[in-house]
Every structure is written in structure tokens, then in C-alpha cells.
Structure 1
Amino acid sequence: MSTISYRLPQKRALVTELPGPKSTELGIRRRAAVAAGVGSSVPVYAADADGGVIVDVDGNSLIDLGAGIAVTSIGASDPRVAQAVSEQAAHFTHTCFMVTPYESYIRVAEELAALTPGDHEKRTVLFNSGAEAVENAIKVARLATGRMAVVAFDHAYHGRTNLTMALTAKSMPYKTNFGPFAPEVYRMPMSYPFRDEQGLTGEQAARRAITQIEKQIGADSVAAIILEPIQGEGGFIVPAPGFLPTLTAWAREKGVVFIADEVQTGFARTGSWFACDDEQIVPDIITMAKGIAGGLPLSAITGRAELLDAVHPGGLGGTYGGNPIACAAALATIETMRELDLPARARHIGDTATTRLRALAAQVPAIGEVRGRGAMIAIELVRPGTTEPDADLTKAIAAKALEQGVIVLTCGTYGNVIRLLPPLVIDDDLLDDALTVLEQAIRAAAA
């Protein structure tokens, strides 16, 4: 990785207990003004952020192992992004691409055609959020195939809109009491090596799902399969080798559109530009968001030209989709990722963290598995000697890490997974300090 000049000191430093008095005051104001349904993982309020640190309103400098849920991969205030945003805002903040288009939208589409897997002819549409990207990928697949059924998988997370809630597997907090949901969505078993029967291969797990699809739906009725190459909210589940290639081969044979949801895994996070690259699979459509624009709201679908061009003019779009400021940020983000070779940096982060955490797992029976790829790492917590999930221990570990100034996130269908998504620009000393704090938190909570 090229040398990075940080604007803020890359150090963990606590000057108050957490939350401090200013964060506590903001918490009181929040409860009086913000809907209770909006949750936050930590009770501190950000005032500044750079590289691998977040500074709160009380002056505490915390190590960020969440990156805004895999969004600020290049840091939360990358100077190239800040400059690009400022320059674009000085010219125009919005015209609506569907009314008066602009070059930066086209440039982003060209970049995505070059970066995404496959050398086929591609088309791109830009939106605002991952859920929008997923919804529109499904729209394209249904129109292009003339079929309605969509296959999703156990432990999946695809968003909070009505259709994406239907695709999402986890009920609480995402779906409970929000139905009825969009129809013609069918759920199939995922490859989850830690919890699958011993010896089940990826190909066998895929054949299990394919058999159910053919029995319950019929291949001729399926418009699309949608799958996260590494599941995010479900617990950073890495399917067994062979699972994804077997599914994609079946989909291609049956004329089913294979949609790779790379909203969380994309843009260097797993050590490649996209997680599909790791298994050399080429999706028909890929959905992207999160790490695409350095923290600005932007999402995209990129897919085979014949699929996206099948949609009638006006069938895709949105008032803010591909906002010019977000496009400027995306172009700057991609340039920074290339210059710093952040896929390689993600691999280095992953090797460093998993080596230490697997050594810890050999000593702490409550760690059921350490898994992941690149800078997308999970620790699954269980009751020792079993695979029974331990959500309480998981919460306790996250709380103890925060007490010492390290932000970690939790996830998993059973709420028992610590997930690490550090900014890819975190320096080695800061990462080492964060892992030391996390190890201490795990030992203390498990004891």
C-alpha cells in the first residue's frame, strides 16, 4: 500500500467514559426528536473521522472496525473524495440524469463495466441505496425472462423495502409486523459449513437447493436467483467451495438470471474487486453500493447488455439516482482504491486478523469459528462444546470492546457473530491495537 498521510492522529485515546457528557446530551435530544425505530450500535456521536479512527463529540478517539458497515473503505474523509465533492458542488448539485444528463454518470458506468466480472458487453443503471439496486435487478430479471419467481437463500439480507424484506431471511428486526410482503419469493437452504452436516460439499449443498427449486417452483418459472457471494448480515457466511459455481452453471443452463448481491462484499472488501472474482464466477447482474462512493449515497446494477437493454425507456431510474456529487465521489473513490491497491491491503488485513483470532480460538472454547475473506472477518460465538449460538456473549464482547475505545459490529441470524469491517486504509499499528483490545474483551467476557 502506498504511504497515506492521515489528517487525524491514528491513535486510540479515551478522555471520558463512554458515552461522554456531550454524547449523553445528544442521546436525550435524539429520543425527543428521532423515531425510536432507528437504532444505533454505539451510544457515542461522531464529530470527525479519518483513516481508521472516529473522534466523538467529547474528544474520544475510537478505532473503527465497522467502516459504517463497509462503506468508508478509503476512510471517512479521503482528501481526493472531499475535493471531488467540493468541485462538483461548486458547479451543480443536481439536474436529474433523466432530464439533463451529465458525463460523470457515464464515466461511472464505464468504470463499473471494466471492474465487474466478465468481459461481455454490459450496461449500468445508478441508484441511491443497496435496496434500490436489488429491487431494480429483480425488475430487470422478471421483464427480460417473462418469469416471476425469485429464489433467495437462508440467512440472506437484501434490504428494508417491501420486496427486499421478502428476500431477507431474518425476521427481527427487519420484517416483524411489516408485512404482507411481495409475492413470488422462495427461500432455499444456504451452504453454511459451520452448521451444515459434516462432510457436505459445496456442490452437494447447491444440488440440495437446486432439487428444491425444481420440485417446489420449476426451473421454467424462475426469473432469478439472488445471492450474496459471502452473506453479510446473516453472519459473514462463506459458502463451501463449489456452491456458487454449481448454482451459476445451473442458472445459465435453465435461462435463470443469476444476481450477485455485492452491496457489502464489493469494492476491494474481500481482497478482490468483487467477491465473485474469488471463485471465478460471472453473474448476469451484480448489485453494488456501500463502498462505491466513499460514504456518499450511490448504488448500481451492472449486467449483461441484453438484459438491461430489454427494459423499455423510462422503466428504470429515479430522481436522485446517480446524483452528480455522488458520481464525482465514486470516481475519486475508485481512483484511490487503484492507487493504494486496496484489494491487496484487504488481503493483508485479513491475514493479520485471522491469524491472531484463530490462535485465540484455540484457547477460547466459546469461539466456534473464525471465518471470512479479506477485510470481511467474522467470529461466531457459541456455548463451549456445542454449536448453540451465544448472542448474550456476543453483545458482552462488543460492549467491552467499546468500553476500551474499539467499535465492532454484531450480526448473524442468531445474533452471535462479531463482524470486523475495518477501513482498508487502517494502519498496521492501529489494527494491532484494535485486535489486542478485542482479544482482551473476548477473554474477559468468555471468562
Structure 2
Amino acid sequence: MKYYSTNHTAPLAFLHEAVVRGLAPDRGLYMPERIRKLPAEFFDHIDSMSFQEIAYHVADAFFGEDIPADRLKQIVYDTLSFPCPVKPVEDRIFSLELFHGPTLAFKDVGARFMARMLQYFIHEEGTKEVNVLVATSGDTGSAVANGFLGVDGIRVFVLYPKGKVSAIQESQFTTLGQNITAIEVDGVFDDCQALVKQAFLDDDLCHHMKLTSANSINVARFLPQAFYYFHAYAQLKRMGMADNFVVCVPSGNFGNITAAIFARQMGLPIKRFIAANNANDVVCQYLQTGNYAPRPSVQTIANAMDVGDPSNFARISDLFHADWQQIRSLMSGAAYTDEQIRHTMRHCYEANHYVLDPHGACAYQALKDLLADDEVGVFGETAHPAKFKETVESAINAEIDIPERLAAFMKGKKQSVSMSKKFSDFKQLLMAE
């Protein structure tokens, strides 16, 4: 299968080119030329399949033309070595717990899948070394750093905004060493993302080193997140609760909800979507007004969603030909302040004995506010609450335990490079490699 750019001026690319490049030469995001519908038989029997079996069928529809079946199956099964359960929180509202991977965040699946796919392409092409650039507002950096840790032929540079990720999140990518370099940028997430995008367009850098991105702009990072929603549907079907299925996703860079929309395009019977935002509500405002107006991000307690110009909105717009009416008929939005997020965490804990992280709290509240009486809602609980320990504990007025996997990261020594948000400084750092 070939991939085109959302800016429609770059040449078509094969999968290996799209994955290794990350961003298209015209600064657009790669999109598959077609989205294959899965057969009705697959959905008839989905509730009898394991997570890995379901994911392999979905992966084959995207990547089966480009990767041998045995290798693709190995990539999928290696990636999905942990559960993603659907749990009832209250009547007709379920959480999809996406935080049971190595770094306890939903991005583990996409990062691990991409690491294995990129390693396969490097081996097949005989490429000497690939340098992965990734901007993070929290969980992307930890998932990518740990997914690529120790992988031969790949170096990873994680750019993160100084003072704007939680201490536990920061420890997950600044204490690793080996092939992982953490860069602490004096700015916000959007500055980090701009540096990554500009690096791909710099001729000196592109001649000096082979660059790719592991943000959700990379097709190998965001597409595997579709696995989650097929798996959620299968679990609901086993419960007899799969009719009028609504998906609500806490959204920052909009990669996760874009993957869910792709799942629907493949035939998954999702009725509609809700994009839950914090104060960075650019897409929520677009859904209400039809005007897409990016702006600088502001810092919130749901920091992984602190994005003022979400990259993957370009994919959503392209998929629906920039038709606002069509997009808003499929997706609604809701946005919440820090105080509202704290209130939701406290209420859910007291009423349901369920501990939310700040991002999941946005999505849970959006379902409570927008779910119709005849609908069943699933919201993404995207990171373990312990990753935001102080924020969560102050909201619910109770202590939460830190899982051993997180505690181990906190014992490591911070190794990071401090840098301004000037591209010239970033370029100088990379040219010295």
C-alpha cells in the first residue's frame, strides 16, 4: 500500500518510506491510500478472539501487503503482552484501561509496535542508523524511550518542556541512558514539536543523519492504537453491551482519537466520538464554530493534553475533506478547567471508588455530560493515576500506591541536556552527533 501526504504535494511513499521519514517532504502527515473494510465475519466472531488475534487482523489490513505475515504476527504478539481491560465505572459508562504496558500509559502499544517495525525495515534495507526525534508533553517520551531502549541501529532524542511534565513521567525517559538522549527545552510542548518538524526540513541535518519521528505523526505510531477500540468492542459484546457504542478519548495531539476514527472506517460499529479537552480546547472550539484557530498551549494538570496546535487534526480534516458539518456529525467536544478536573476525580472516587488520572477524568466527565440514555460509553483511561500522584491525591484526599515499575524509574539518576527553544541550538546539538 502507498501513503500520501495530507498536504497533497509530496510523492506517494511506500510503507517503509513513510515510517522511516515520519513526516512527508511537504510537511504533511502520511495517510494510507485506502482503508480496508474488515469482513462481517470478523465482527461476528470478534468476541471469541484474544486481544492479539484481533490486533493481528487489524494490522494485516493496514500492513499485510508490506510485511510478511509471520513477521507481522510476531510484531503484534510481541507488542501486546499486557491486557487492556474494559471496566464498568457506573451505569452505561466503562473505562478502557490503556495503562497496563511497561510505562503505564496508552502510548506503549504504538511505541513498541513502531520500534519493532522500524527495526524490521532497518534490517531489510541494511540502513546503518536511524535517529528518532520525539516531542513529548508527558507520556509519549516515556513510551518511546522505553520501547526503543537498547534497539540496535536506533538512537532516540526526546524533547520535553522544562517544568511541564510530572516528576515520574520525566524520570521515565531521563534516567535510561544507552541510546536515549533527553533534551529539556526551555519552552512549551508546541515549541518541542516545532523543533522536531523543522529538523525534518533542514537539508544539512537530513544529509548528516537519517531522521524519523516517533510522535503520532508517524503512521507506525498512531495506526496501532486502533487495536484498542476493536478490543473494547469485543469486550462489550461479551457483556451484551455493544449497541450504540460511543467512544470518548482525552485528546491532546489527537492521534488516539484519529486511530479510533480509522477503526470506524474499517467497519467497527462506533456510533460517534467525543473528544475531551482540557483548557487547550482548539478542536472543541472548531467543532462548535467551524473555525480552526491554533494558539499557544497553556499548562494544566492534564499535561499530556497541553497542545495548542494538534498535528493529527490534519488527518481528521483530510479524511472528511475538511467538511465541518460531516466532522461535527461524527464528533462532539467538551473541555474542562483544572478545577473541574479535580472535582471530577473527587466525585468519581467518592461515588464509584474508581481512581481517575487527570486525562481520564476529562473523558469520564464528557461522557457523563454528553451520553444519551440509549448509548453505552467507553472512555480512555490513558495513564496510571500514580503518574500524577500529588495531583490525584490532593483531589481525592486519599493516598494511592506507586506501582513498582514506576518506583524503579524514580530511583534512577537524571541525565538530560538543557536547551533553548531556538532551532539553531537544536541543529547544533544534532550536527555534533
Pairwise TM-score range, normalised by the shorter structure: 0.3 to 0.5
- Greater helix share, structure number: 2
User: Normalized against structure 1, the TM-score is what?
Assistant: 0.32
User: Normalized against structure 2, the TM-score is what?
Assistant: 0.33
